[in-house]
Structure 1
Amino acid sequence: MPAFDVDSALRWARLDPGRTLARRADEHLPFISDTAEAGNELLLDTCVYIDGMQGRSPDVVADLLDIRQINHSTVAIQELMHTIGVLDPGHLGTKTAIGQIKTTIAAMPEHRIFTPNADVLGRGAMLSGILCRIQGYQHDARLRALHDCVLFLQAQKLGLAVLTANVSDFDYLLQLMPTSRVLLYRVAA
């Protein structure tokens, strides 16, 4: 069997609802509660690292990271390194930001970093294409959707839950694939 089965992936066309998806009310979404609880292992979305570095994570996220097994994706590493690339070298805060990102990536245990395989990448690309078309995503939103879809499917393949503050996009993904695991949070005000 090839690393990527195109015919099998094409059957995912059934995921296309043929209409724009509406963002559901918060009470219908899997937000973490005010108290961290044991549960599934987590795969962190890039926003979790960024919110932590910027001090915007609610306390319950730190508590959750303390009690659950944490896993990392090369997708997040890629996005963090992209951030370094777009930072203005002449800005006063750039050196500090690069240092924080470097420290964050260096702290990821090698045995807890996972790389999406050809199947996840291929299906993620198809899923993001569907999402971009039905939601009318343009330009930068398309690349963000591709990364989100790959991370979402990678977590599903590994039996993990994605932890993210990206409520809208992951709500749409959960509408397309409702049996997947996602935990949402809101950034601290």
Structure 2
Amino acid sequence: MSVIDVDSALRWARLDPGKTLARRTDEDLPFLSDAAEAGYELLLDTCVYIDGMQGRSPDAVADLLDIRQVNHSTVAIQELMHTVGVLDPGHPGTRGAIGQIKTTIAAMPEHRIFTPDADILGRGAMLSGILCRIQGYHQDARLKALHDCVLFLQAQKLGLTVLTANVRDFDYLLQLMPTSRVLLYRAVA
């Protein structure tokens, strides 16, 4: 038995809305309100960690993280570690940034870290390919789309809600798979 249902994957790969997806208005999207509420467990997008480290998270995000069960994906850990590798070792802020990332990852309870399985990785790769085709994404955006799609499908499979400030890309994903759960916020400037 195959880990990935190739026949259904091929049917899904033919998804074509016939047009480039347009970003919907904020009123049509699931934004976090000013007051955090109880609800489904969360899976955090990488931007949640980064916004927290840089002091750009709105108070409602901190409140939400206090009242909901928080889960972590190895996709986000991978992106955080990529940041460590990209940082200029000679820059005076690099040591502090690496220290914050190390502290953030170390604080993740092991039993709350989830790794996407082969099914999620395969379907995530295909969904990102569809998104790249429909939206005309180029080089740098393709890898980012792959990570977003894997995280999105991982949350769906686990019954979790993705928390993210990546409004544009997760709006597109919700248009392609509207039954998935995402909670959006805007980072504080």
Q: TM-score, normalised by structure 2?
A: 0.98
Amino acid corresponding to residue 108 of structure 1 in structure 2: M
Structure-1 residue corresponding to 2:25: 25
Query: In structure 1, what is the Cα distance between the partners aligned to 2:42 and 2:187?
Result: 18
Structure 1 runs of 4+ with >2 Å offset? 13-16
Query: In structure 1, what is the Cα distance between the partners aligned to 2:23 and 2:14?
Result: 20
Deviations 1:104-142 (A, max 9, x none): 000000000000000000000000001001111111100
Structure-1 residue corresponding to 2:134: 134
Q: How many equivalent residue pairs? A: 189
Structure-1 residue corresponding to 2:167: 167
Amino acid corresponding to residue 142 of structure 1 in structure 2: R
Amino acid corresponding to residue 142 of structure 2 in structure 1: R
SS at match of 2:163: strand
Structure-2 residue corresponding to 1:157: 157
- Consecutive unaligned residues of structure 2, counting only runs of 5 or more, are none
Following superposition, the deviation at residue 14 of structure 1 comes to 5.0
Structure-1 residue corresponding to 2:58: 58
Structure-1 residue corresponding to 2:12: 12
Query: In structure 1, what is the Cα distance between the partners aligned to 2:18 and 2:88?
Result: 41
Structure-2 residue corresponding to 1:105: 105
SS at match of 1:71: strand
Amino acid corresponding to residue 42 of structure 2 in structure 1: L
Structure-1 residue corresponding to 2:117: 117
Following superposition, the deviation at residue 13 of structure 1 comes to 2.8
Following superposition, the deviation at residue 26 of structure 1 comes to 0.3
Query: In structure 2, what is the Cα distance between the partners aligned to 1:9 and 1:164?
Result: 27
Following superposition, the deviation at residue 12 of structure 1 comes to 1.2
Structure-2 residue corresponding to 1:178: 178
- Consecutive unaligned residues of structure 1, counting only runs of 5 or more, are none
Any conservation in 2 of the 1:15–1:177 contact (CA below 8 Å)?
A: no
Deviations 1:162-187 (A, max 9, x none): 00000000000000000000000000
Following superposition, the deviation at residue 39 of structure 1 comes to 0.1
Query: In structure 2, what is the Cα distance between the partners aligned to 1:15 and 1:40?
Result: 29
Identity of paired residues, percent?
A: 87
SS at match of 2:8: helix
Amino acid corresponding to residue 92 of structure 1 in structure 2: P
> Superposition pairs for residues 37-48 of structure 1, below 5 Å?
37-48=37-48
Amino acid corresponding to residue 125 of structure 1 in structure 2: A
Going from structure 1 to structure 2, the CA distance change for 1:140 and 1:128 (only over 3 Å counts) comes to same
Amino acid corresponding to residue 184 of structure 1 in structure 2: L
Q: CA RMSD in A?
A: 0.8
